[in-house]
A and B are shown apart, each in its own frame.
Chain A
Amino acid sequence: MSALTASEAAMAKSTPEAAINRHDESARLGFRLTLPAQILVLFIAVFPLLMQLYISLTDWSPLSGLDWWGAWELWNGFANYSDLASDNRFWGALWRTAVVMVVCVPAEFLLGLALATLFADDFPGKRFFYSILLMPMMVVPAVAGYMFFMLFQSGGPLNDILSTLTGTRVAIAWLSDPTLALIAVMIADIWQWTPLMFLILLAGLVGVPQDQIKAATLLGANPWQRFTTIVLPKMKTIIIIALAIRVIENFKIFDTLYIMTGGGPGVATETISVYIYKVTTQDLIWGYVAAIALAILIVLSIATVFAMKRMAAVREVRA
């Protein structure tokens, strides 16, 4: 067949129907190629989710003497979910989690951004301070928890320092006071996670084209104007990513906090993770735990989808 007739045949074929057929064909091939991955995803994500959904509709607990797949014998419909709606301890924990997030994430962001701005320029001893700054991030959270636990004791170093500074004997019971305990927990989180924010934002800052900053300077922009009109817009994507990472991580705040206060005094520092942990290990009502976890997952997923949409919109604009 000559080249001409081949191209004619191709042209004849490219009717809308033919196009749809070709599209179907390539979609089928794509499906077959991704099948192994799909099955894997099914097992590591979908199966546990379904299992959780199933248990959340029952009164099952490991003490009930039933295997988990037999939990239907303890079917209770949506009772767990309606309990959840009126569970004040749950809503309290959710509220504290939100408070911690609203304080910690912006604080980590602003501190991280300020440090990144500082480190974007050269100054003597920069490498040394850089290493020091990254250290908190590398400390095992449980160790950080013990460190802050000791720091905030009434006979601990923090009070000693305050005593020296003020000249009077300070013996604040940091971790026994509901408000101070929450503040202490937040300080520990900010201490540990500002470096991550700093690292991500520094990477973004270094990526801002220097010549555009010079161009802005030559056009008369002062440092603040340069920051708001060039640097911040260029860093938008990376800022959203950094905030998303910290929001998701901070929502799950647990280890450092649990070691410092155990969620106490009372429930003063009981966040959602601490609450779930207690319900799981102390009350052992796993059907209820599954319901809580699922509810939170749904809320987080919606938030993540929303954030991703925004990121996609930003990329669209920059492309």
Chain B
Amino acid sequence: MSAIHLQNLVKTFGNFTALKTMDLEIADGEFMALLGPSGCGKSTTMNMIAGMEEPTEGRILFGDRDMTGVPMGRRGVGFVFQNYAIFTHMTVRQNLAYGPRMHGKPKAEIDRRVGAIAELLQLTPLLDRRAGRLSVNILQRVAIGRSAIMEPAIFLLDEPLSNVDAAFRAVMRTELKHLQREFRQTMVYVTHDQLEAMTMADRIAVMDHGVLQQVGTPIEVYNNPANVFVAKFIGAPGMNLIPGRPAESDRGLVVDLGPLGVTPPLPDHLAAALRRSNATVLYGFRPEQAAIAEDGEGLTLPVTFVERIGARTIVHMGQGGSAVKAVFDNNLRVAVGEMMVLAPDAASVRIFDVATGKAVGGRHG
């Protein structure tokens, strides 16, 4: 009943197109993350689901009910705003009670529900405090509680954690996931932080410039980016992409990366796909999925910068126009200026078409 279907959704503001023909199916009880850089149309999509904005074209269905023309107060969605939109002139209790009160629920029931939700979100000791004086971390919980008390079948959260401090963000990631498991709502979660999307979502919808780029589980999106944008955007740091030309060698098809040398032979399915097209390509591999080549066979690059971040060491390399990053353990001994020979893990190599930006060779294991 609370699945969400977005069909051919378009939104324009004047002659600026914020969202271009978006199709997305969100299953009942699913936790879907909308992930993308700022300004890519995530909030616009959410606002249309909530009914705050009317789509320029296309339809939104909840289950099999067409939501076109249904005003926002009647859609039964919970919405947590990025800045929380807490009623600062009320107490925490009045904020939590607002929804049931507006629906004319009896006082005893309101008290019971407020008590329960406050207990769940650890707001009980703060119930009679003025909301205008509370910290961001608490406001965030009040905002969630104020929507959750209505037990909406659909819960929309627009960057709910982007304003809170890092420690609290980690706590809330787990809490939110628990909350969703408990209530089984359909949850749409907007974020520009891939860590949030990766850790919480059942599936991620990656967006850029108003265009839906890829929908998939966190692992799918990470392992098999559908295009260059997703490859670069997902992962920290993103996937290495080096331009090159496919070339035959005695051990199979390789990619000639110019001054960086030639790659190890490509897996069979990639080689098969590339032999058919034979265009200039981007050779892609994840910084985490490359090793120092013991046999000296691989991409040879000078080290330009070494970034040590506690558990890991990120080595930046570069030559000419191409920059490559690789992630190692923190005990790696390396200095700027040294030459490094990198051997990407053969199974994790991905190839993208330069012209279309799309991944070549379909899905991988």
Whether B102 and A219, one on each chain, are in contact in the complex, defined by CB atoms closer than 8 angstroms, is yes
Whether A218 and B98, one on each chain, are in contact in the complex, defined by CB atoms closer than 8 angstroms, is no
Whether A218 and B50, one on each chain, are in contact in the complex, defined by CB atoms closer than 8 angstroms, is yes
Whether B132 and A222, one on each chain, are in contact in the complex, defined by CB atoms closer than 8 angstroms, is no
- Chain A residues closer than 8 Å to B52, beta-carbon distance: 214, 218
Whether A218 and B72, one on each chain, are in contact in the complex, defined by CB atoms closer than 8 angstroms, is yes
Checking A225, A317, A319 against B102 with a beta-carbon cut-off of 8 angstroms, the contacting residue is A225
- Looking at chain A's contact residues, the main secondary structure is helix
Interface digits, A186-227 against B, CB 8 Å rule (1 contact, 0 not)?
A: 000000000000000000000001011011111111100100
Interface centre among B78, B102, B133, B150 (most CB of A within 10 A): B102
Shortest C-beta distance, B283 to chain A (Å), equals 46
- Chain B residues closer than 8 Å to A318, beta-carbon distance: 88-89, 132
Checking A217, A222, A230, A317 against B87 with a beta-carbon cut-off of 8 angstroms, the contacting residue is A230
Whether A218 and B89, one on each chain, are in contact in the complex, defined by CB atoms closer than 8 angstroms, is no
Whether B146 and A217, one on each chain, are in contact in the complex, defined by CB atoms closer than 8 angstroms, is no
Interface centre among B73, B133, B146 (most CB of A within 10 A): B73
Whether B85 and A211, one on each chain, are in contact in the complex, defined by CB atoms closer than 8 angstroms, is yes
Whether A220 and B85, one on each chain, are in contact in the complex, defined by CB atoms closer than 8 angstroms, is no
Number of interface residues, chain B, beta carbon within 8 A:
25
Q: Is B333 engaged at the interface, CB distance under 8 Å to the other chain?
A: no
Interface digits, B78-94 against A, CB 8 Å rule (1 contact, 0 not)?
A: 11010101111110000
Whether A218 and B73, one on each chain, are in contact in the complex, defined by CB atoms closer than 8 angstroms, is yes
Whether B85 and A214, one on each chain, are in contact in the complex, defined by CB atoms closer than 8 angstroms, is yes
Whether B133 and A319, one on each chain, are in contact in the complex, defined by CB atoms closer than 8 angstroms, is yes
Q: Is A96 engaged at the interface, CB distance under 8 Å to the other chain?
A: no
Are A220 and B89 CB-contacts (below 8 A) given A214-B52, A225-B102? no
Q: Is B141 engaged at the interface, CB distance under 8 Å to the other chain?
A: no
Q: Kindly state the separation between the CA atoms of A216 and B73 in the bound complex, as whole angstroms.
A: 8
Which A residues from 96 to 121 make CB contacts under 8 A with B?
none
Which B residues from 16 to 74 make CB contacts under 8 A with A?
50, 52, 72-73
- Chain B residues closer than 8 Å to A229, beta-carbon distance: 87, 98, 102
Whether A319 and B81, one on each chain, are in contact in the complex, defined by CB atoms closer than 8 angstroms, is no
Q: Is B130 engaged at the interface, CB distance under 8 Å to the other chain?
A: yes
Q: Kindly state the separation between the CA atoms of A216 and B81 in the bound complex, as whole angstroms.
A: 12
Checking A211, A214, A220, A230 against B103 with a beta-carbon cut-off of 8 angstroms, the contacting residue is A220
Whether A233 and B85, one on each chain, are in contact in the complex, defined by CB atoms closer than 8 angstroms, is no
Q: Which residues of B contact A (CB under 8 A)?
A: 50, 52, 72-73, 77-79, 81, 83, 85-90, 98-99, 102-103, 130, 132-133, 146-147, 150
Between A and B, 5 residue pairs with Cβ closer than 8 Å are A215-B87, A218-B72, A218-B77, A218-B147, A220-B150
Top 4 nearest A-B pairs by Cβ distance? A211-B85, A219-B99, A215-B85, A221-B102
With A215-B85, A221-B102, A233-B90 known, 14 other A-B pairs at CB within 8 A are: A209-B85, A211-B81, A211-B83, A215-B81, A218-B79, A219-B99, A219-B146, A220-B99, A220-B150, A221-B98, A229-B87, A317-B130, A318-B132, A319-B132
